[in-house]
Structure 1
Amino acid sequence: MFVKHPCPYPLLLALPGLFSASLALAQEPTLATVSVQEKLVSDVTTTVTSEAVQTHAARSLGEMLRDEPAVSVGGGAAIAQKLYIRGVEDSMLNTTLDGAAQSGRAFHHQSRLLIDPELIHSVEIDRGATPASAGPGALAGSIRMTTKDGRQLLRDGQTFGASVRGGVASNDGHRWGAALYGLAGESVDFLVSANRDDNDDYQAGDGIRQTHSGSKQSSGLGKLNWRIAAGHRLTLGYQAVQDEGSRYLRPNFWQGQGNSLMPQKTTRDTLTVTYRYDGTRTLPAMELGLFSDTMKVTRITTAAQPQFNKPLGHQFGEEIASSGLNLKAATRVADATVRYGLNIHRFEMNAVHARPPAASTSNGREESSVKGLFAEGSVPLGDQFLLGAGARYDWYGYTDNHAQRISSRGLSPNMSLTWMATDALSVRASAGTALRGAGLKEAFYVDNTRWRNDPGLQPEKARNVELGVNYNEGPWSAKATVFRQQIRNFISTTTGATWAVANVGTMKSSGYEVGVAWNRSVWRSGLAVASAKPQLNGYDLGDEAYGLGVSTGRSWNLNLGYRIPTWNLDLEWFGRFVESKTSTEYLISESRTATKHKPGFGVHDVYVNWLPYGNDRLRVTFGARNLLNKFYYDQGSYAYYVSTAGAISGRGFAEPGRNVRLDVTWKF
């Protein structure tokens, strides 16, 4: 039975007392730094920094992660680009921005991540088994995004700075932005940043313009850091991102029956407050974060939509809001570090100008919550072994749009053992389970369809096992990982005959990732390959496995770079090659199987970075993406449909053809 829990915010009343007690001890001798951000060493963690974003002038989350062979992103407008890691959709991962949960899905035909790379300081991705501190519901991993700080942008000796930036692209758009940042005394730093990105419809490699693939995006970031006293910091942050344009109701594929063109607008506003304390001999290091995040999608019909009960000119959409707190603490006990804390998150979904079909009986609103406790630690075993273990226990509550109440709870343990065979070579084995209770369904369904939850919905349960090898010595580095994943009780829609949202089966996947890199003097090169074979109930994952994943061919990434120090130039070539994929999928909504063939492709990018002053005061970036103007569909796109007669049709957007870009950033 669902039990309504009290709002978490009364806990904030304890903050002043906690702050006063810790401030009084600020002058005590502190222990060696214990970071609550510290986590168990993981050979499958990827970190993308702002330097990499600038080097490649990335304009979307997919472009930020383009070096990762295990990542695929669907084509079309930025808002339609769905992200897959090891073939699993990002909706199965725990995703945060400065600690704020980015939860809920507006519509399975569009992305749930609305991010401007220009505002991001770093992105960390954990695949598979994640630390308990990563948060609740991390079935297939986690994505942690951190925004920039003003102090990070200042040059040595600088107390105030500003930057302006602009860029043009041949295929087809332009962008500009500006930022102000600096210090207010020794204890406060600030950042205010704004950006605008206007993109017209792009052309694919065959020269055909992909109609309504363009969009206009604007974003802003305000951030304030206050070093209250020795060991005490308070951070306030606000980020706003907006995407708008005329696109089809289902923006990730072409016009068709029931897929009318209409103006659409998507906004995301994220507010965070974070207090950090370094700890003393008597108090643990800690981090307390509060957040509020709201995503809103609105559309205006240009033709009546009788199947959704929407007349001509009606504005409708979805709003998903999350709020909560995260408390983390860390204590060093002898040679071991112990991290522990709690998460209290609340989610709410509302239809905008609700007008559900008569047969729906939906009230246009849902709410859910999760409350969890976690603990984890790492301890050396002799000189060569490191044992890590952790667990979290979560309580889920959910009230759906038909006033049904569903609750669940459970334990999610994990363990790892790392063998440091030599200073250069380590081997790591890890295993973990994760639980995610039933929660907000896809927001579009709440107002526009008859889908109703099965009252017996069970929580989704994941099991991840990995074995990894890591090598790093001299100019060489290498990494290899094999993995197995399983997600039971996957929650999705069934057929139109039952109109049920239910547990539809078990996803199983296995695969590997291998990467080798060489970096000596002015030369660098790399080779990486990734393969995953996700299946649902024995069939390959397909475009219709809404919210779960997609099947793609083996992916190869190669790069070669060369620096010319005397000219302050950096040159790079990058190639991505994906093998063809033939899959047999089960189409849930049509209760039949279909065999699809996705052609392979290879694309080449080149980049030139020039720092005229030898530092980042002035940066000029030239890039040519898809240099050879290849026509292709990314295998993560909703582009392949096979009818009952076996006819194949392409529904999705082809990828952009050659796109030559020039970006300039000037800091002063």
Structure 2
Amino acid sequence: MTCSTKSKTVRLSALSLSVASALFCQQAFASGDTSDQYREEMEVWGAKVSSSSEFLGDDDISVKQADHLSDLLRDIPGVDVGGTHSVNQRINIRGLNETDLDIRLDGASQYANMFHHIGNLTLNPDIIKAVDIQVGANSVVNGGIGGAIHFETKNAKDLLRGDEQYGARLYGGYATNNSRQGSTTVYGQLTDTLDAMLYGYMIKRNNFKDGAGVETIGAEGKVTNILAKLGWEPTTNQRFEITYDNYRDKGNYSPRPDMSGDANEALSKTTLIPTKYHRDTVTLNHQFTHSELLQVKSSLYYNKIDLERDESNIPGRWPGDRRSVNNAINNNTGARITATSDIDIASIGNTFTYGVDYNQQQSKSQYGSQPETTEKATNSAVFLQHKIQFSDAFSLTPGVRYDHFKRDAVTSNKSFSDVTWGLAADYQLNKHFSFFASTRSLFKAPQLLESFIKYQQVTYLDPNIKAETGLNTQGGFRFNMDKGMHSFASNLTLFKTDFKNHLKASYNRAKKQYDIYNDGDTEIKGFEASVFYGYDAFGAKLSYAKADNKNKTNDTPILDSNKRSTDIGDSINLSLDYNFYDLDLYLGWRSQFVLEEDNVLEGTPVKDAYNVHNLFAQWAPHQVDGLVLTFGVDNLFDEQYASHASRTGLARNIDTTDFEPGRSIKVSAAYQF
């Protein structure tokens, strides 16, 4: 992050400046006085999370000591993360899950549909450098009908400080409820054109206790992550980067990691399943800047997610053909090229963004020594977006995209294709106020079945099934003003998303089969709002997100495969921060209030309201360059609660609610040298 900040009589530590600049960098530009300003590049270990639902600056999350994606993303308006288990991280945007999102890691697609009791993402928050979140589908550049989340990991260039040629970082952390973790990173500028980084991470988890003091079962395991990066800059205007990301999650886990420990014990006694959930990702990224006329980013990738479970000894109602060591693999192989060209025509600025996106997904499953089942899906897309800057105040951005999706599956070999479009407008009323509006048509073809369960022989795919289509429309305003030591910012986004031919998969008990079909027309509507106030070293942010869904054909909520509403309760987030510059100390408080969600199927339980509060302190003493000590308390008041994006409700008259961990005190130390 680079920004100008007004010189102060007090000395700013690296930590204080890096955190404060995210909140207050606009203040210096507003002053107009450059004689007493200086520019300095500062980074701390932690992701910069930016979201289209907020216009309040990036957020540094190193203070959160994140070990689950929920720690990283849950306070973003319109975003939630379900699941508590390491193998169950489920991103949710406006009530839509990760199978409706365009999720990428260093450019590699993470799309998967692995197993309904396990999440589809295997990401380590510790090494994330940046997260770009598009809440809602607003641009033809991305393909997800619910939005896009692009994760970027760190490289050697990010970690080298000043004129350093080499460096290293050691990190260790402990949480009382109930984990310990550590990492080692080495990096360096090998030659004038070559840089490299090697990162190793491990976290060991034990069974945690929820807010009621109930200890879960089947969460004890170990995650390791090795990330190697090599960067090459043959010229000043281009960079090649090759990455190998090795993620391993292993443990004796509960049969249904999306449920509470009590539910697993009731359904399968205390039986645990030896589980391996692995990911291997190889990417080659290239950035090339020729001039304003041509800037190109390209990615070539291979992403493999591998789930293995030994289900030999599970008691109770477990299918006989699955009492063996079972395996599923999901491969994504693809490429993406995006180019940008800036051209002035008759004093009107024109920015063209265009490219191609190709992904081939291959799904494999095997029970013991039984024959392997293989399916494949190929998605190809081409897109063009044209931003027309009619004046300094007004721009219009039309776009068009073509998608072609081909299923090569047991249930069908159909192809689906469509042309979608987008149109966005921005108007800058003055230097403080701007207004925006956009509309984007949507397209999603029937995807492959989940990889781990061999449903193919007992699945009925409606022969007349259609692709899901729709329209996402949203608009709002942004406000930003600095006056003296005071900073103000706010934003409001109103949205409505309509879907036609909503795709649904459900179990048909009468026929003992799984049905995939179009379930009528649905809608989601709501808003995200945020306000920020800062004064010198103090910052406060308040946000409110609301999304309500409805199946207009059936006059019910939108239901998941377990007939639970996918609606997410209204979420209110409050954050307070203060920098004690002279003490090199950064303090903060985070509160989340989630309201009861009563938009559920008649006769089923509501999703309970909850509030959870976290505090943290981070100290980077200037006397010891490179040392950072962090202290935090998650769930300070020991609330028993479950995210509305997690598993809730009853199964066989058993409460399956996946309760979050109770109070946990976290401490960590990092030393970079």
Q: Aligned pair 1:653/2:658, yes or no? A: yes
Q: Which residue among 133, 158, 165 is the counterpart of 1:159? A: 165
Structure 1 pair 48–239 and aligned structure 2 pair: CA distance change class (3 A): farther
Whole-Å separation in 1 of the counterparts to 2:57 and 2:183: 22
Structure 1 pair 449–201 and aligned structure 2 pair: CA distance change class (3 A): farther
Whole-Å separation in 2 of the counterparts to 1:538 and 1:76: 32
RMSD between aligned residues = 2.4
Contact 1:336 1:378 (8 Å CA) reproduced: yes
Q: Aligned pair 1:515/2:530, yes or no? A: yes
Q: Which residue among 329, 351, 355 is the counterpart of 1:337? A: 351
Q: Which residue among 617, 622, 625 is the counterpart of 2:626? A: 617
Contact 1:43 1:428 (8 Å CA) reproduced: no
Contact 1:451 1:493 (8 Å CA) reproduced: no
Q: Aligned pair 1:540/2:548, yes or no? A: no
Counterpart of 2:27 in structure 1 is none
SS at match of 1:405: coil
Counterpart of 1:95 in structure 2 is 103
- CA drift of 1:371 comes to 1.1
- CA drift of 1:465 comes to 0.4
Q: Deviations over 1:260-288 (max 9, x none)?
A: 6311111111110112210148x722222
Which aligned pairs between 1:154-553 and structure 2 lie closer than 5 A? 154-253=160-259, 254-255=263-264, 256-257=266-267, 261-280=272-291, 284-303=294-313, 307-310=318-321, 312=323, 314-334=324-344, 335-353=349-367, 364-402=373-411, 404-446=412-454, 450-474=458-482, 475-494=487-506, 495-498=508-511, 499=513, 500-536=515-551, 537-542=554-559, 544=561, 550-553=566-569
Contact 2:193 2:232 (8 Å CA) reproduced: yes
Q: Which residue among 573, 577, 581 is the counterpart of 2:597? A: 581
Q: Aligned pair 1:150/2:156, yes or no? A: yes
Whole-Å separation in 2 of the counterparts to 1:634 and 1:42: 20
SS at match of 2:606: strand
Counterpart of 2:14 in structure 1 is none
Amino acid paired to 1:562: Y
Amino acid paired to 1:497: A
Structure 1 pair 552–288 and aligned structure 2 pair: CA distance change class (3 A): closer
Q: Aligned pair 1:664/2:672, yes or no? A: no
Q: Deviations over 1:134-183 (max 9, x none)?
A: 2x3x1111111111111110110111000010000110110011001110
- CA drift of 1:636 comes to 2.2
Unaligned runs of at least 5 residues, structure 2: 1-49
TM-score by length of 1: 0.86
Whole-Å separation in 1 of the counterparts to 2:306 and 2:220: 19
- CA drift of 1:501 comes to 1.8
Q: Aligned pair 1:129/2:137, yes or no? A: yes
Whole-Å separation in 2 of the counterparts to 1:47 and 1:343: 31
- CA drift of 1:446 comes to 2.8
- CA drift of 1:594 comes to 3.4
Contact 2:93 2:136 (8 Å CA) reproduced: no
Contact 1:120 1:145 (8 Å CA) reproduced: yes
Counterpart of 1:119 in structure 2 is 127
- CA drift of 1:69 comes to 3.7
Contact 2:229 2:242 (8 Å CA) reproduced: yes
Structure 1 pair 244–43 and aligned structure 2 pair: CA distance change class (3 A): closer
Q: Aligned pair 1:74/2:52, yes or no? A: no
Counterpart of 2:576 in structure 1 is 560
Unaligned runs of at least 5 residues, structure 1: 1-40, 357-361, 586-592
Structure 1 pair 131–345 and aligned structure 2 pair: CA distance change class (3 A): same
SS at match of 2:212: coil
Contact 1:535 1:541 (8 Å CA) reproduced: yes
Q: Aligned pair 1:632/2:641, yes or no? A: yes
Whole-Å separation in 2 of the counterparts to 1:263 and 1:114: 18
- CA drift of 1:642 comes to 7.8
Whole-Å separation in 2 of the counterparts to 1:480 and 1:635: 23
Structure 1 pair 616–45 and aligned structure 2 pair: CA distance change class (3 A): farther
Whole-Å separation in 2 of the counterparts to 1:200 and 1:172: 5
Structure 1 pair 74–285 and aligned structure 2 pair: CA distance change class (3 A): closer
Aligned length: 605
Counterpart of 1:570 in structure 2 is 586
Contact 1:292 1:322 (8 Å CA) reproduced: yes
- CA drift of 1:365 comes to 1.3
Amino acid paired to 1:308: P
Amino acid paired to 1:91: T
Q: Deviations over 1:555-592 (max 9, x none)?
A: 1111111111111001111111111122332xxxxxxx
Amino acid paired to 1:625: D
Whole-Å separation in 1 of the counterparts to 2:72 and 2:133: 12
SS at match of 1:55: helix
Whole-Å separation in 2 of the counterparts to 1:552 and 1:82: 13
Q: Deviations over 1:81-110 (max 9, x none)?
A: 322121211221111111111112101222
Contact 1:488 1:505 (8 Å CA) reproduced: yes
Whole-Å separation in 2 of the counterparts to 1:365 and 1:264: 22
Whole-Å separation in 1 of the counterparts to 2:443 and 2:426: 25
TM-score by length of 2: 0.85
Amino acid paired to 2:520: G
Whole-Å separation in 2 of the counterparts to 1:411 and 1:366: 26
Contact 2:128 2:151 (8 Å CA) reproduced: yes
Counterpart of 2:16 in structure 1 is none
Contact 2:569 2:595 (8 Å CA) reproduced: yes
Contact 1:309 1:355 (8 Å CA) reproduced: no
